[in-house]
Structure 1
Amino acid sequence: MLHVGQPAPDFTLNTTDGTPFRLADRRGRHLVLYFYPKDDTPGCTAEACSFRDQYEDFQDLGSDVVGISSDSEASHQKFTKKHRLPFPLLADPGGQVRKLYEVPRALLGLLPGRVTFVIDREGVVRYIFNSLSGATDHVRHAKEVLAGLPK
């Protein structure tokens, strides 16, 4: 897996509305980039809603939030609308960005992993949290790290 202190690999993926999201275009703001297994499953819903409920805190800390899974844009649209998510979800149907970030599979390789990266405004990875079962812990850890970074 990537290590803290390494540059975050650049990528381009489509958002829920089909527009491209390019990591390099986000320089100047911190970014919480979280990989999750699947839309509308209990753990993934809890995680997304926790990010939603604390989204203003992330904005106040100078950070954007972006979720990535291998679900389709249509699935992301439905999930975003159903749970009123204020941040983009990116479709990575072939898992290429997941591979680029070296996100490990979980549960004996049966599920895509749940990993959160905090990337600073210069594009450097400042924190990595890997936990399939602690879905809402990703939010708490990310906020703690961001609180220690300059806005």
Structure 2
Amino acid sequence: MANTPKIGDVVGDFRLPGGHLDGDTFHRTDYALAEQRGQPLVLAFYPGDATPVCTAQLCSYSDGLAELQAAGAVVWGISPQGVDSHEAFARDRRLKMPLLSDEGRAVAKSFGITAPLIGLRRSVFIIDPHGRLHWKHVTAVGATYPPAATLSAQLAALTD
């Protein structure tokens, strides 16, 4: 397993398929890390669509999305499920942020967060506008996640 990036490291580029819900339309597209340069990016890795803790986490971030966006951030949810599963999850829970599919877990592996049995460790990474890792939260077991308010505080620290 690869090591997780260290604070200050430049995060390697990746491109994943995904989509986001806008009203009743789910827009599918590819998302590339390099295309986000110039603004902070929150990457929320989660083990599975529609599971209890993942649902609570993604709903929390969706509900707090306006505050995160007010800090200039883009928020992506990333899990191993396919885009069809993400669409059903987004529609069921009315999630407002893009959900990206890392079916081969290549991106999770590059962040050093793959894990036996669960697939990946629940993790959140904040990348600064220059592509450097600003903050991270990686769980050992996967039942906890930082609330949106914690993410907002970390994003505010980028402008201090």
Q: TM-score, normalised by structure 1?
A: 0.92
1:15 to 2:23 alignment:
no
Instruction: Provide closer, same or farther for how the CA distance between residues 104 and 141 of structure 1 changes in structure 2, counting only shifts above 3 A.
Output: farther
Measured in 1, the distance between the counterparts of 2:46 and 2:64 equals 18
Larger deviation: 139-148 or 30-39? 139-148
Instruction: Provide closer, same or farther for how the CA distance between residues 95 and 104 of structure 1 changes in structure 2, counting only shifts above 3 A.
Output: closer
SS at match of 1:129: strand
Instruction: Determine the structure 2 residue equivalent to 1:110.
Output: 117
Measured in 2, the distance between the counterparts of 1:133 and 1:141 equals 17
SS at match of 1:98: helix
Instruction: Determine the structure 2 residue equivalent to 1:5.
Output: 8
Q: Which runs of 5+ in 2 are unaligned?
A: 20-26
Q: Deviations over 1:116-150 (max 9, x none)?
A: 00001111100010121213x25333222111112
* Equivalences, count: 147
* Identity over aligned pairs, percent: 35
Measured in 1, the distance between the counterparts of 2:12 and 2:98 equals 19
Measured in 1, the distance between the counterparts of 2:105 and 2:17 equals 13
1:126 to 2:141 alignment:
no
Larger deviation: 96-105 or 86-95? 96-105
Instruction: Determine the structure 1 residue equivalent to 2:159.
Output: 150
RMSD over equivalenced CA pairs, Å: 1.4
Q: Deviations over 1:25-63 (max 9, x none)?
A: 011110100110000000000000000110000011110
1:76-95 mapped onto 2 (5 Å cutoff): 76-95=86-105
Q: TM-score, normalised by structure 2?
A: 0.87
Measured in 2, the distance between the counterparts of 1:141 and 1:134 equals 13
